[in-house]
Amino acid sequence: MSNKNSSNAIIFENILFGFGEQIILNDVSFSVKPGETIVLMGGSGTGKSTTLKLVLGLLKPESGHLFVDGENITDFTESKMMAVRKKIGMIFQEGALFDSLNVFENVGFRLFEQGASENDVEHIVRQMLKFVNLEDAIYKMPSELSGGMRRRVGIARALVGKPKIILYDEPTAGLDPPTARTIIELAMKLRDLEGVSSIFVTHRIQDAQQLASEYVTIDEKGEIVVRKDEKAASSRTKFIMLKQGKVIFSGSGRELWESPDPYIKNFLL
């Protein structure tokens, strides 16, 4: 058991979770390998956000075991969870920025909180903004940014502290397709260039297709480029679909699209 657990970023082992009488996750098992992105799909209310909250220890399972970065966090206290959460970056649908703080203060928030000097914070914030292609927006207020830019600031903020694990909760919801692409490209950069392990919750089939068929690499000129290659992409990307508390699908993108299951076929329309 211990070998398996220490070599995975996240493991759900027979997790049962409910709100009162309502069972949300019913004997759910899956794992996220290091460097792998698990695309978690399912209708609204099927427990996708709940799954992420369990990883963060914000909710506790009723039974089963939950491992994060080799540690059995199932019964971790709040203070032990604080250390675990430092390894996890969380990216929300709306970016969740503080409206009264500028981009610099938003991205550097945790560092300021920890008492880092203005110079150190600026150095790190600029690095993170460069990663999301938003260096020029450093002194802007959230209200001056487009929806896509706000999400990218949210991503930059989640990257402070260099998390090994990133959890995405519908980061492309409500964005137009080209803007959504830029968000997925960032997720691919983190997957392919940084080796981050992720659970990526999404509703959008286009997100799933892109994550299953494209990857990011550095070309001969040293530039970051997006390439189409299903094999390369799928070696690092797996799909899971939830329905009524159960994992009804787990496999590659191709297996997902070729699934004969009528529910899945309908979902992918």
Q: Which of 13, 39, 48, 61 binds ligand ADP (CB under 6 A)?
A: 48
Residue nearer to Mg ion on the CB measure, 58 or 83: 58
Q: Residues 133, 142: contact at Cβ < 8 Å?
A: no
Choose among 11, 5, 31, 37: nearest CA to 195. 37
Identify which of residues 87 and 243 has a Cβ nearer to ligand ADP in the complex. Answer: 243
CB of 219 to Mg ion, least distance (A): 37
Asked whether position 46 contacts ligand ADP by CB under 6 A, the answer is: yes
83's CB contacts (< 8 A; 6+ apart) are: none
- Residue listed under structure tokens 């490209």: 185
- Using CB under 6 A, which of the segments 45-53, 79-87, 92-100, 228-236 binds ligand ADP? 45-53
Of positions 46, 49, 51, 172, contacts Mg ion by CB under 5 A: 49
DSSP 65-128: EEEETTEE-TT--HHHHHHHHTTEEEE-TT----TTS-HHHHHTHHHHHTT--HHHHHHHHHHH
Q: Which is nearer to ligand ADP, 101 or 268 (CB)?
A: 268
Exposed/middle/buried for 214, CB within 10 Å: 0-12, 13-18, 19+? buried
Residue 49 interacts with ligand ADP (CB under 6 A): yes or no = yes
Nearest distance, CB of residue 163 and ligand ADP, angstroms: 21
Which residues in this chain contact ligand ADP in the complex, by CB under 6 A? Answer: 19, 24, 42, 44-50
Which residues in this chain contact Mg ion in the complex, by CB under 5 A? Answer: 48-49
